[in-house]
Amino acid sequence: MRTFGVQCVEVEVDTETGEVTVLRVVAANDCGRIVNPTMVESQVIGGITQGLGFALTEERIVDRRFGIVLNPNLEEYKLATAADIPHIEHAPLDLPDPAANPTGAKGIGEPPLVPTAPAIANAIFDAIEVRLYEAPFTRARVLAALAAERARRDAGGTRA
């Protein structure tokens, strides 16, 4: 069954350090008839939390020559923790879908994860007018993108 969702993200970007701080995420996801509101809320928060990690901290480093993962443990693979989670507002939709099944319910497990990183990328662009194309959006990548944009402007170029 098809599902849909939308997320809006508010960020702060420190242009001196490159640090991105997600202040708030607002999400609305279609899961048909909501049978268990607590479970739906938990799935949305969990999916957004995974998306935050993907967007900001989780980076699988692979040796391109040998295909070996260089950070094979959680010491070098930074997962989001409870301290990293911003305020999450869930706007639940309770729209039964009779085409899905007799109850009108649909799944909610993965859909909240998918739009989180793109929403953060767009919020960063809105904040600093520089587009990032590779996740995670680390301090180094933010600073490199800002430097490239300054160099482009100094050279009189146009935005790509």
Which amino acids are annotated catalytic? Answer: 110
DSSP state of 27: E
- Rounded-to-integer distance, Cα 31 and Cα 83, Å: 28
With H, G, I as helix, E, B as strand and everything else as coil, classify residue 144: helix
With H, G, I as helix, E, B as strand and everything else as coil, classify residue 83: helix
CB 25 within 8 A of CB 86: yes
